[in-house]
Amino acid sequence: MKDYLVHDEWSIIEEGFHREHNKISESVFSIGNGRMGQRANFEEQFSGETLQGSYLAGIYYPDKTRVGWWKNGYPEYFAKVLNAPNWIGINIELDGETLDLANCEVEDFRRELNMKDGYLKRTFIATLVSGKKVKIASKRFCSLAEDEIGAIRYSITPLNFSGTLTITPYIDGDVVNEDSNYDEKFWVSINQKVKRRQGYVITETKKTGFQVCTGMKFAIFQNGEEIDFNSFRQQKEKYVGCSVDIACEEEQETTLYKYAANVTSFNHDKEVLFKLCKDKVKAAFKTGFDALLEAHANTWHNKWEEADIKIEGDVAAQQGIRFNIFQLYQTYTGEDERLNIGPKGFTGEKYGGSTYWDTEAYCFPFYLSTADQKVARNLLVYRHKHLQKAIENAAKLGFKDGAALYPMVTMNGEECHNEWEITFEEIHRNGAIAFAIYDYVRYTGEKEYLSEYGLEVLIGIARFWAQRVHFSERAGKYMMHGVTGPNEYENNVNNNWYTNYIARWCLQYTIEAIDYVEQNTPEQYKNLEERIKFYKHTETNEWKAIINNMYLPEDEKLGIYVQHDGFLDKELLTVNDLKPEDRPINQNWSWDRILRSIFIKQADVLQGLYFFEDHFDKETIRKNFDFYEPRTVHESSLSPCVHVIQASLLGKEEKAYEMYLRTARLDLDDYNNDTEDGCHITSMAGTWMSFVKGFGGMRVYNDTLQFAPFIPKQWNSYAFKIRFRNYYLEVIADKNQATIANHSDTPITLKVYDKTHTIPGNGNVSVEHKY
């Protein structure tokens, strides 16, 4: 755990240059706009520890799988969102001496990520080896209003000398991915052009053939006035730059404004990329830095107006939740149904930037409640578009008759994860996708989605479960062997309770969805039945047999559901038995030792109790929580949020607050010692869930929105807003009461602490805390 960032309600601030944490800071201070994003690399040259990273949504490379022992069914590649051409580069020389913070004495260093307005700012004073002292101030952003535009303001002030300043803004497409399986470069050069104050690089990905045109145009000011200049134009394969020599006086500020555009063949025809990029750069240059920033900031203000969460009395907690919301909106805006949410977003290379089950299990509720309904719908449509690929994925593993296995990792619907215990065994991911459909219908009331898209996906998933189980003659039960549950510190286990339970639920929900669609849209149902060759009577009878006879491991003496067969035969230690030097165990123990231990990476049984909370009484949830949480090391970023929600339900306020800080500040404080690889974007949606569903107690049962708020003792008050169907609501809690404000024009009936209230349009109701 690191503690070097300043606590502030609206900004992430680093005071002093922490070289040893620079890659962590590059992740934390990342910026993006849903279309492109970038780690907080320095504009000027830096030869120290760094992970250079610029990323473009939808652009990927199928990196050939690298394994020691190939198994039938393995994906042939691992899809990776690529490190794209670097558009921020600005080399600085002072009388021929390069500015490089790795080789300078640095003072008054300050880096700030302003989340309210959405920009990255950095200031410092550097003393070069020659003794020359210079002050630098930079500010940059990826425009949320114009999502193919980025802009930089970079100022240089000599403090103890006059001389020649050489500024070289450039674009460099000769970049690498550190996680390349074979140390391969993924880009080839198509063309590059450079003029006096502008340059363009066109590159193409190998294999996938995506083209990117990255362009720049710049202006230079001194004493607040734009100056004329001549530039030395540099051009080589995948690189363009313009070097400008400028006479500078001591204490005289020189400012470079650099405007850049990234346009891709993912969004436009290849034939128009260069012209389009040039037009966008020209328009940005004409608009100017301040006007672009104002439009960008206003877009952020609108998002904060809808989705901000306010906490009074705890700056660390306030900073944490805003950072999580900020990074989520930087990663995914929901405007493009072809896109999804990678676990690292635009902050790093790990996990390939691809889509995981994290989207449905953790991210989906955030967008469902904070954005226009179409955003969550687009996330579901994304999976429907990949249904045929899911059927192909299942067929590669020997399944048939339209059975669908959605991938653990994907860019285009095709499975591309290359660890056997994940690819072949972590099949519970299918359940999360089905649950998201259910969650959408439950929350929005839009049952029509089942007829349009949902049912076809559900039937494909149900067919998979029906083929994946087997019947044990000895036990008289259906079982599933050789699986991996959400707890990835167990592999190749038999009868994971969560997997078995969600499979059984999927079958039941699919039958209910079939009945609804058949009764309400019979023509659509008949067309679907014929198109996918669905035999209702035969298939649903088989499903009902499985539903009625699914094996769910349970220990009646302990009163718990057993994570999987044999789990209770382990040495039943708790996390308190671990030594400090053991943590995190995934960085200090052998994999063999981890697999043999009792320790749990993330919620497994508890994940099921969270999804299906209304299926169980509170005492059952309590017994399972009290058994499993003390054995959970929370070494998955996805773990703490589920525990916050259940601890809140059970009245375990201290545990809920402890887990909330862990999820909210996971990257800010580098809890798991891995933030340098990138931020944990999908778990950030879990932070929102932990707040709204945990502290706010928000649920939807029987078409009725419900709240059961409580406030941690460390806070004075909190407030959050949600969208629910056609309503826009705000929940405000202080030490004494909770107030639900209806910011819509029509009345809404809901429950607070199990009591029904009707709130008039633009009215509110206040209720004393029950707990």
Residue 657 φ then ψ, to 5°:
-70, -40
User: Which helix (H) or strand (E) segment is 544 a member of?
Assistant: helix 536-549
In whole angstroms, what is the distance from residue 678 CA to residue 28 CA? Answer: 8
Query: Could you tell me how far CA 189 lies from the centroid of its own chain?
Result: 31
What token pair was written down for 179?
């996680």
Q: Tell me the C-alpha distance between 328 and 693, whole Å.
A: 18
10 Å Cβ neighbour count for 471?
13
What is the number of other CB atoms lying within 10 angstroms of the CB of residue 160?
A: 11
- Alpha carbon distance 104, 123 (integer Å): 14
| Alpha helices in 288-419, H assignment, sequence order | 289-307, 315-331, 358, 364-370, 373-385, 387-396
Phi, psi (5° rounding) for residue 758?
A: -110, 120
Residues 6+ apart with CB under 8 A from 99: 44, 45, 91, 92, 93, 126, 128, 134, 136
Residues 442 and 437: their CA atoms lie apart, in Å, by 9
DSSP string, 441-509: HHHH--THHIIIIIHHHHHHHHHHHHHH-EEETTTTEEE--SB--S-TTS-SBS--HHHHHHHHHHHHH
What angle (nearest 5°) sits at the alpha carbon of residue 428, between those of residues 423 and 430? 90
Q: Which whole-number Å values give the CA distances from 68 to 60, 71, 74, 76, 418, in the listed order?
A: 24, 10, 12, 13, 11
Both tokens of 697, joined, read 């107690």
**DSSP assigned state of 580:** G
The CA distances from residue 29 to 24, 120, 238, 344, 676, in Å, are: 9, 7, 27, 13, 11
Per the omega criterion (within 30 degrees of 0), is the bond before 343 cis?
no
What radius of gyration, in Å, describes the C-alpha atoms of the chain? 27
Name the residues annotated as catalytic: 488
Nearest to 214 by CA among 185, 183, 189: 189
Cα separation, 559 vs 561, whole angstroms: 7
Return the structure tokens found at 422: 């994940």
CB 574 within 8 A of CB 631: yes
Give the pair of three-digit tokens for residue 292. Answer: 């672009």
